[in-house]
Amino acid sequence: MGLLPRRAIRATSRPSIWLALALGLDAIIAVIAILIGSSINLAELLAAGPLLACARCSGRMTALVAGYAIALCAIVTGVIGASSTSSAGYRFAIVGCAGVFAGFVAVIRTRRESALIRISERVQRAILRPLPAELGGVAFASHYQSATTQALVGGDLYDITMTQFGPRFIVGDVKGKGIDAVGRCAAVLAVFRELVFGEPDLARLAEQMDVRLSRDMDIEDFVTVILAEFAPGHVRIVNCGHLPPVKLAADAGGLQLMDPPRYEPPLGLHPHPALQDIALRPHDRLLFYTDGLVETRNRAGRFFALDAHVATALATPALDGAVQGVVKLLLDHAGDGLTDDVLLVLGEPVGQPAAGTRPGCPV
């Protein structure tokens, strides 16, 4: 399972943005202080720059802002003068102490954030198990990235397991993002793993999951999911409020959107989904995804389109290469980084299970 570069996060959370804001704020304060003159002493307000920077910037960047603030304080004092040496020293002491305090806060914050990221990575591995390269005659490739800077786990989920009915797969998106969504993801996957072996009918399985999950959901909570069951020559799916997958047939160049027979609400809102049967022959490909893919806008405000460029990327011989090709198109489209979690899972039948293999046993 791949991860996008760390640059693929909310642009407004980038440290460089906060660094620019802190430097700009102090520059504005210095200009106003010079224009007003010695009648009102504003030089102490230059402490605001380091204090702003420590909220998002590293200790080193905050120290840079602190040095910049002290330099501006010296310039302001030199231009407007000071009534006494002690007055000038008082200004420098205020700005310098604020800079030291801000640097200390920035170091402590970045250390805690690093620890949180390490914990999130472990949570991700525990909850979102890597997909097998092949299971039950179907090859898989996946890519997941949370858009939240404080966690690598967001609101998207997936899992696959081999059952007596064949490989069964779930992809979904819980309401919310980041740490708050981790518990909901874990609950959905736990219920899926508990019920997936006992119910032969996928639609009934979705209804059972809805009953179990609704007990612990608030009235505004919901989970969009697709449940899929792979079989020779086709895949059966039920769709509960999720975006439909797209199919790339081996003998056709375009993408086909696999719309469900009728719209059903997500889990938590009591869906009664209909079974959908999709032909899936060897070397056909089926892409499951979450809304972070198609709801990503570029700088002009246009959504990412599942067009011919995506079809070309998905036709790349290697599955991993195909998924990474779509990721590259998405990042090029987004420009400034992603604003929502993105999950891509690509499946392709590669042949039948080996002779003599019992259903329910991984191959």
Using pLDDT thresholds of 50, 70 and 90, give the confidence band for residue 5.
very low
**Mean pLDDT value of segment 97-118:** 89
Q: Do 86 and 158 belong to one domain? A: no
In a domain, 5, yes or no: no
Q: Do 135 and 74 belong to one domain? A: no
Q: Do 156 and 48 belong to one domain? A: no
The CATH number of the domain where 194 resides is what? 3.60.40.10
Which of the listed residues 122, 147, 174 is the one where a domain comes to its end?
A: 122
Which residue segment(s) compose the domain that 71 sits in? 11-122
> What SS3 state is found at 275?
coil
Question: Taking a C-beta distance cutoff of 8 angstroms, is the pair 26, 65 a contact?
Answer: yes
Structure tokens at 128: 């979102």
pLDDT in tens, 325-359: 999 999 899 887 677 788 999 999 986 544 333 33
Give the H or E element holding residue 60: helix 59-80
Q: Do 269 and 177 belong to one domain? A: yes
Q: Do 78 and 175 belong to one domain? A: no
Q: Do 178 and 327 belong to one domain? A: yes
* Long-range contacts of the stretch 36-39 (C-beta < 8 A, 24+): 37/80, 38/80, 38/81, 38/82, 38/83
pLDDT in tens, 212-238: 999 888 878 899 999 999 999 999 999
Q: Do 197 and 90 belong to one domain? A: no
Q: Which of 329, 317, 252 is nearest to 289 (CA)?
A: 329
Which of the listed residues 69, 103, 122 is the one where a domain comes to its end?
A: 122
Distance CA 354, CA 257 (A): 31
Sheet holding 255-257, edge to edge: 134-135, 138-145, 342-349, 285-289, 246-248, 255-257
Q: Do 96 and 163 belong to one domain? A: no
Q: Do 213 and 322 belong to one domain? A: yes
pLDDT in tens, 160-175: 999 999 999 999 998 8
Q: Do 226 and 335 belong to one domain? A: yes
